[in-house]
């Protein structure tokens, strides 16, 4: 078997066999196939797409390129949630303790933020002392002890994805629903879970701007996961404006703590409860989504989710007192506000630009190597549909350095659209796939 | 400027600027852009094609990646011919001495054979002592002395093409008319020529099986060369069966010598004379193609082309006596014949398979690193349209090793189609583009 023949076959729109895909993925993992051949193949995949059989073979080959965690000896169902990423998208930090407190285990392996989107690991690391770099052994122990564990990618999990993703990033071959599906599902299927709830974002602040693209990706992921014997459901959710009001790492942890205290913004709370409810349902913990949502609410109201959150923070080396005193979280030195240039109603908030503005302040990464400033970020005073007077604050800006402030402020000023009347409210959950 | 952005632009079907193409080609030449990014870009070009402006920019960037020979101080027009390659395609060895004898200089830089097609350099090297590896200084001296010079690629000429071609070969990105055009024309435009005659082959034994593809490539090359200030014409010629009767390196030199002696097969002689005639016309040496053809015939009849051929062989270190005694050429030890399984007329000879059979005997290369056996090859006893009796020889097989003989014979047996009546003869020159 020769890589060049496999590339040619894909280039000419033929279907690759499982053996051919295994050959490529194994070659990528051990370095036997040079990067330039992998890159040509990736671009041919962007061009030609993949059949369902090819996608299944690719996902399985990537999954088996590394270690597949086995939690079958641990009692109870294990369920995870994956989001395709957005701005202010912080539900993981709410639902992990909620679902764990409700008796379902949540072994969660997350990623970092890039560009305008944030990442769960960066948010967790804004909690003083919190260690996301656990070994797989420690991951298991934390999960067994408190019902959830929150770590970053380890070298053992899906090394083929690590290799291919790095190559995709520099060869303009990220944007293929097939490659995205295989990348996400190979990692999630390695977590030792029984079920997976997918939060596929769509809208201005999402990776998939068009709902049809989000639905297509969701469909692929649900089919791929189901074929691999897992229960999978995907929620298509709105990312036309940031989720919640706070954007930035410590600010987002703070907002999650608010929700765990029964407060916080409606949209964040509702989506966190809905995702938790689906996790309970897929785990067999409840019989309906409504029942699951009631259970999730109960975990918050009773304080049990807060207990679990304190516990997981403690077990992972972090300062658990932040759950009761968010003043212990890092905070930016300075604040300023963006003021409304006119009166009216907020018609739109350009979500991607808001994410970029937060990134400019140091809250995110332009390049993978960039470091994060955990305290900086934005607090939206107004969201879409809110009435606003001229000069009233639209958004508080938390910053440490002056350097990028004026650029960030200029971008934010362009991000708020103010109109004469309130727009029609749109639902947060647009569609459910695979239920 | 970042390579990943340029790849993305091409992937999304946008037109690249001259600056972007220069950036890629310079980066390829000096090694500043990694192979994996070049490979992804090449596959995106296969997918999206190129505009006329992009193709011009690419060809010029590749041309200027190395040395551009300047023969303007040398009196007289300089003209070359380039063929896209075929089986038994040996006209260069006839027309170079014919055109040089007729007073037009032919500075010819050729390539090696690969797969089922032969290469001029391999044929020349079957002449004992012939050195194709001249410096550019020696190339100039031989050209000045005898009117033609026949060498291989030098490291100074179009290094970007060398780099990109090696990458295309292993990433299934050879087959793009734009990349083929830029590769050929960047090298030919570096030869210091005033005009170029292109022999674009089409049919079973050609790179372009379909005439429409051959015409498209010819059109691109004529436009590109013309835009760069050269006179260019392309002949679309038939490669449904091998050209002439002899295939294999020394055997092809022998057949060229036959033509230079006024003998040899009609098709080879006619095509060599036609190509020579177009070279005379573009050089301004004659006013019409007919006049050019008469001049070419005269160069053969008078023996002056033979004189020039002896001279160029001598100047390049070879045994000039082969022009009068082809017995001095290397010859395979053994011969066998393929016999006709039935009586009838030769309806077709599957040209690519015949080329592969010759390659199997050692006459060509499967991989670039393979070495050539100069003496082996095939001599067709029958060509398309010929009547044949059962058991009569169709083809003589000249071989040294038994190893691949049976495979080659089996392939040859499948290559001859014998029918009940002679097929309609088809013209050798199917179309002329750019005249």
What ranges do the domains of chain A cover?
A: 3-49, 79-325, 331-419
What is residue A151's three-state secondary structure? Answer: strand
Q: How far is residue B61's CA from residue B23's CA, in Å, rounded to a whole number?
A: 9
Q: Do B4 and A46 touch (CB under 8 A)?
A: no
Please give the pLDDT value at position A17. Answer: 98
Strand pairing category for B79-83 and B195-202: parallel
A128: which 2 tokens? 């003083």
Encode pLDDT of A393-431 as tens digits. Answer: 999 999 999 988 999 999 999 999 999 999 998 899 999
Q: Which residues of A touch B34 (CB under 8 A)?
A: 35-36, 170
Encode pLDDT of B378-397 as tens digits. Answer: 999 999 999 999 999 999 99
Which secondary structure element, helix H or strand E, spans residue A429, and what is its range?
Answer: strand A429-433
Q: Which residues of A touch B5 (CB under 8 A)?
A: 172
Domain B331-419 has CATH 3.30.1490.110: no
Average pLDDT on A62-75 reads 94
Please give the pLDDT value at position B374. Answer: 96
What DSSP designation does A326 have? G
Select B3-49's CATH number: 3.30.1330.60, 1.10.10.10, 3.40.190.10, 1.20.970.10: 1.20.970.10
CA nearest A242: which of A37, A408, A61, A381? Answer: A381
Q: Which long-range contacts (CB under 8 A, 24 or more apart) does A264-269 make?
A: A265/A383, A267/A243, A267/A383, A267/A428, A268/A88, A268/A90, A268/A91, A268/A94, A268/A243, A268/A244, A269/A94
For the CA atoms of chain A, what is the radius of gyration?
22
User: pTM for the whole thing?
Assistant: 0.89
Please give the pLDDT value at position B114. Answer: 81
Tell me whether A354 touches chain B (CB under 8 Å): no
Active-site annotation of B, residues? 82, 161, 168, 183, 187
Select A79-325's CATH number: 3.40.50.10420, 3.40.1030.10, 3.30.1330.60, 3.40.50.2300: 3.40.1030.10
Interface predicted TM-score of the whole assembly (ipTM), two decimals: 0.87
Encode pLDDT of A108-158 as tens digits. Answer: 999 888 888 889 999 999 999 999 999 999 999 999 999 999 999 888 999
Residue A159 pLDDT grade (very low, low, confident, very high; cuts 50, 70, 90): very high
For the CA atoms of chain B, what is the radius of gyration?
22
- The answer to whether the CB of A395 falls within 8 A of the CB of A337 is yes
Q: Do A43 and B44 touch (CB under 8 A)?
A: yes
Active-site annotation of A, residues? 82, 161, 168, 183, 187
7-36 of A, contacting B, C-beta below 8 A: 7-8, 11, 34-36
Q: How far is residue A162's CA from residue B20's CA, in Å, rounded to a whole number?
A: 29
Tell me whether B1 touches chain A (CB under 8 Å): no
């Amino acid at each position: 078997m020769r890589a060049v023949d496999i590339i040619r076959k894909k280039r000419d729109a033929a279907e690759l066999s499982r053996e051919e895909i295994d050959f490529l993925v194994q070659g990528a993992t051990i370095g036997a196939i040079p990067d330039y051949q992998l890159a040509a193949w990736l671009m041919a995949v962007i061009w030609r797409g993949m059949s369902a059989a090819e996608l299944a073979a690719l996902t399985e080959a990537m999954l088996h390129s590394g270690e597949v965690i086995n939690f079958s000896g641990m009692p109870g169902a294990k369920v995870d949630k994956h989001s395709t990423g957005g701005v202010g998208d912080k539900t993981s930090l709410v639902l992990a303790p909620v679902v764990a407190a409700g008796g379902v285990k949540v072994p969660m392996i997350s990623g970092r933020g890039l560009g305008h989107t944030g990442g769960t690991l960066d948010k967790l690391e804004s909690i003083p002392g919190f260690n996301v770099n656990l070994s797989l052994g420690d991951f298991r122990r934390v999960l067994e002890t408190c019902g959830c564990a929150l770590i970053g990618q380890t070298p053992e999990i899906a090394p083929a994805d690590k290799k291919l993703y790095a190559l995709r990033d520099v060869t303009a071959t990220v944007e293929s629903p097939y490659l995205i599906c295989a990348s996400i599902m190979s990692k999630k299927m390695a977590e030792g879970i029984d079920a997976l709830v997918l939060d596929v974002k769509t809208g201005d602040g999402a990776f998939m701007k068009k709902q049809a693209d989000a639905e297509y990706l969701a469909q692929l992921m649900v089919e791929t996961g189901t074929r691999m014997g897992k229960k999978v459901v995907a929620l298509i959710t709105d990312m036309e404006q940031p989720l919640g009001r706070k954007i930035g790492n410590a600010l987002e942890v703070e907002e999650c703590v608010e929700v765990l205290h029964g407060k916080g913004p409606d949209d964040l709370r509702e989506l966190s409860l809905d995702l938790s409810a689906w996790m309970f349902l897929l785990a067999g913990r409840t019989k309906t989504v409504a029942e699951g949502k009631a259970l999730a609410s109960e975990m918050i109201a009773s304080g049990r989710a807060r207990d679990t959150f304190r516990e997981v923070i403690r077990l992972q080396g972090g300062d658990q007192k932040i759950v009761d005193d968010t003043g212990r979280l890092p905070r930016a030195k300075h604040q300023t506000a963006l003021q409304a240039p006119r009166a009216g109603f907020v018609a739109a908030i350009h979500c991607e630009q808001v994410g970029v503005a937060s990134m400019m302040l140091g809250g995110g990464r332009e390049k993978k190597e960039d470091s994060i400033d955990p305290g900086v970020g934005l607090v939206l005073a107004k969201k879409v549909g809110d009435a606003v007077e001229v000069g009233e604050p639209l958004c508080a800006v938390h910053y440490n350095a002056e350097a990028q402030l004026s650029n960030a402020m200029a971008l934010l000023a362009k991000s708020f659209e103010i109109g004469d009347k309130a727009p029609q409210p749109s639902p947060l959950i647009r569609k459910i796939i695979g239920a």
